[in-house]
Structure 1
Amino acid sequence: MRMERLGPGGSPAQVLRLLDARAEAAGTPPPAALTGTWFGAAAVLAPHVRAVATPPADAFVLRSRSARGRDEPGRDEPVVGGGWIGCLAYPDRAPTHPALPRAAGGWTDTVLRLDHDGCWWYESLTDAACPAGLAAVVRESPETAARAPWRIDWTAPDRDTHRRGVQQCLEAIRAGEVYQACVCTRFTGAWSGSPLHFFADGIERTAPARAAYVAGDWGAVASLSPELFLARHDHRVTSSPIKGTLPIGADPALLRASVKDVAENVMIVDLVRNDLGRVAETGSVTVPELLGVHPAPGVWHLVSTVAASLRAGVDTVRLLEAAFPPASVTGCPKLRAREFLQVWEPYPRGMYCGTVGMASPVAGVELNVAIRTVEFGRGDADTPGSCGLGVGGGITIDSDPDAEWQECLDKAASILALSPRTPSGPPPADRTVATSR
């Protein structure tokens, strides 16, 4: 294990752009990124990751990799070092012709970590010193981090179709089949340019807490998520489900005063407690935070945190078996809600509502909930690729179908509005155009 202090440098977005240019010039795979709050750091960037399709059962599972632990005496820094970084799709109703694999990722022995004091660190699971070129990327003038163009032509989902799904959910709630369910829809689009620069622009503009980027020959996942699915450090595990949303311009006190939003959040907290209880020490499941009001890109959210101590021998496979897919994007009871959602929703979810994150032999496992996440299917210089942006909301007996549709639009707004300027000429009436030039 090796650590080197590199000192102040560019922002995560600036360094990521420079890493991308460096990888392209060297003919190596693209970088991967975690930004916001990951492993006690403000950013964890992998200079390059060969992210390939993998069986879902192998995602975030470390095999034949070892390193000294993060709690080694004398080490105070939240060291990451390296690990497996990737994504895992929502498991139900796989697309007939998926744009992305069901799981993908790859290993990195080296990361650049930005601490919360603004200092960059080079870390490696090996004893290799930081290459001079990599240190130069961090220290290079931010003005050299050129922006590459990207463009997305978005097509909005059908309001009436989503409204029908919400009505069906309400009927199931009245019949006692479920108590709550997260009914989702999907913006679709065509993209050209650079998904990585879309992500870099996104984290600069919206500063999401659990953003993540990973790409390969299959496409890319740019997750601007605010939500923690799981953080496992040694035997401790936490999850911070989000339920309850208001536009950022509204009074956040209205969230705590909303019977519907509070009920929705408490139901999901109970579901997370049940999920973690399946693999936790008896009596160890607690709720350190209940119904906190937190800002996220474009909205206010109600956020709670559930924590537990895992039983001896519970590995990542067993933890994911107990908790995946995330409770906040399914419903109560979980299995019945998942069955219904496959009927109520017009599109398979794909990577949306799955997870993106990293498993490190040094730092543990941290995974987001892949919401506010754009999936980029494969494209080339001559043919635009396809992309998707899932959105949705939790339905309870107090839900209004029109308000639920507006919540979907509110959640998508921060991503649809990312472009610093729009191209000349108006888009078609049913399309939203986002560009960066």
Structure 2
Amino acid sequence: MRVTSRPLRTEVTSSRAFSVLAHHAASRGLPPPAMLSGDWFGARAVIAPSPAISPAAMPSPPPDADAGPGVIGGGWFGYLSYDLADPSRRTGSLPATAWGWADHVLRWDATGTCHLESLDGGGPSVSTMESLLASAPPPLSWTAGPLRRPLPSEHRDAVKACVHAIEAGELFQANICGRFTGSFSGSPAALFAAGVSRLAPRRAAFLAGSWGSVVSFSPELFLARHGRAVRSTPIKGTLPRRGPADDGNAVLLRRSAKDVAENVMITDLVRNDLGRVCEVGSVTVPSLLEVRPAPGVWHLDSTVTGVLRPEVSDADLLAATFPPGSVTGAPKIRALDLIASLESSGRGVYTGAIGLLSPVAGLELNVAIRTFEIAAGSIALGVGGGITADSDPEAEWQECLHKAAPLEHLLATPS
């Protein structure tokens, strides 16, 4: 596969380029752009100008070609909904999975330089792309009503039932979630652009098509596979973050027995999941219990790495690891069953995975948390948290509100 990567001669930010491409696509009846922003494939951002993303299973390409460090070229952008684990509980109007091919992308490297990359000669010339990105279209906008929250009593009751199951020895931990819903009109792309600018999430993603839009401000890496090397960074443990200078809760989070126990249990679960498909002895934990900022909260995260066995495909890797351990529980099978019995609706895309499969750069997927699902004039936001034996139902509900607050504020304040 032939791969080209050419720097643009004019400087343009990824957020501006995304807005220009979104307006260009809307004005010409083309599919909207797809974008990954934050930390993806070692890049600051990746944009596919107009991929046709539609309901489809994730493809299974041959092993990665060698395109050189940092180069992406193109690939399949898409998502896997959590409800793939239990199709009978599908919720919302978005398809269970959707993917689309892009034969060229814009990639912003670590220095902020934008490269136009293509596979097998696809895409426009550098001069054509530079001319397009130099245009100044009118801004896109959106309006949304306030989100309707689940009844707090319903969430507290679910947490209590989960704690009782843990006390009975059925499992060690489970993630219990609810769904906030409301009305939406206007441009999902504008919402994404504003959220990336205001929230600076580490694993943001935007996908859209005639079926609707997924607007994700996730802080969490589910899987990164580059060649045979694989990595996962589960998040577990949360306290509110009140400002950039306030690190008191960061210290408290690292000292919290409950939050540390949550993280260690899920890290061990991820080790077990990867151990099913990795070379014996290759699974390690190079980072444990790191405190990191996310919009509105502090999180604990840990990193697990491994080397896949030669015969393992991406489908095999996902079969061993999906849905992500951080949004299910331990043991995972019992947690999935308990979640289905305690949550009042399916999760949709929420707690699934979103990302890019490149035939030259590998696979990267986030965990679809802090993620809006938009279709047919409605918007939904899933929120939840991990429950352990010493969870307090009211504190768990407040944690949900802390996680949702930056997104509710974003939604209510169009730029």
Match of 1:286 in 2: 284
Residues 59 and 284 of structure 1, relative CA distance in 2, 3 Å threshold:
same
2:344 is paired with a residue whose SS is: coil
Kept in 2: contact 1:14–1:145 (CA 8 A): no
SS in 1 for 2:274: helix
Indicate the residue corresponding to 1:359 in structure 2: 357
Deviations 1:157-178 (A, max 9, x none): 2100000000000000000001
* Structure 1 spans left out of the alignment, 5+ residues: 380-384, 420-433
Match of 1:185 in 2: 178
In the alignment, the residues of structure 2 paired with residue 68 and residue 325 of structure 1 have an alpha-carbon distance, to the nearest angstrom, of: 28
Residues 317-356 of structure 1: CA distance to partner in whole angstroms, max 9, x if unpaired?
Answer: 0000000000000001000010010111112101000000
Match of 2:15 in 1: 13
> Residue in 2 aligned with 1:237?
230
2:197 is aligned with 1:204: yes
Query: Measured at CA, do residues 36 and 174 of structure 1 come closer, stay the same or move farther in structure 2, by a change above 3 Å?
Result: same
Structure 1 runs of 4+ with >4 Å offset: none
Query: Structure 2: how far apart are the matches of 1:146 and 1:291?
Result: 45
| Backbone CA RMSD of aligned residues | 1.6
Residue 162 of structure 2 aligns to a residue in which SS? helix
Kept in 2, the 8 Å contact 1:60–1:86? The answer is: no
Secondary structure, aligned partner of 1:155: coil
Using the TM superposition, give the Cα deviation of residue 135 of structure 1 relative to its aligned residue in structure 2, in angstroms: 1.9
What do residues 56-94 of structure 1 show as CA deviations (whole Å, max 9, x unaligned)? Answer: xx315326xx87413xxxx4x400000000011002444
Q: Name 2:165's counterpart in structure 1.
A: 172
Q: Is the 8 A contact 1:99 1:386 kept in 2?
A: no
Query: Would the aligned equivalents of 2:53 and 2:100 in 1 still touch at CA under 8 Å?
Result: yes
TM-score normalized with structure 2 length:
0.94
2:399 corresponds in structure 1 to 407
CA distance in 2, matches of 1:277, 1:80: 28
Partner Cα separation in structure 1 for residue 54 and residue 201 of structure 2 = 26
Normalised by the size of structure 1, how large is the TM-score? 0.89
Of stretches 88-97 and 22-31 in structure 1, the one that deviates more from structure 2 is 88-97
String of CA shifts for 1:77-117, please: whole Å, max 9, x gaps.
Answer: 40000000001100244446641000002000000000121
Q: Summarize deviations over 1:180-227 as a string: whole Å, max 9, x none.
A: 001101101111001111111110100100000111111010110000
User: Per-residue deviation at 1:7?
Assistant: 4.3
Deviation at 1:10, TM superposition (A): 2.9
C-alpha distance in 2 between matches for 1:222 and 1:360:
21
- Cα contact 2:85–2:323 (8 A) shared by 1: no
Give me the whole-angstrom Cα distance separating, in 2, the residues matched to 1:179 and 1:290.
19
Q: Would the aligned equivalents of 1:38 and 1:366 in 2 still touch at CA under 8 Å?
A: yes
Measure, in 2, the Cα distance between the counterparts of 1:202 and 1:43.
14
Give the 3-state SS of the residue equivalent to 1:436 in structure 2. Answer: coil
* Residue matched to 1:387: 379
1:346-386 deviations in whole A, cap 9, x for unaligned?
12101000000000011000000000000011x3xxxxx12
The question of whether the paired residues in 2 share the 8 Å contact of 1:60 and 1:85 is answered with no
Identity fraction in percent: 50
Equivalent residues of 1:67, 1:361 under 8 A apart: yes
Give 3-state SS (helix, strand or coil) of 2:23's partner: helix
Partner-residue secondary structure (3-state), 2:8: strand
Check if 1:256 corresponds to 2:248.
no
Match of 1:124 in 2: 118
- Cα distance in 2 for residues equivalent to 1:400 and 1:293: 22
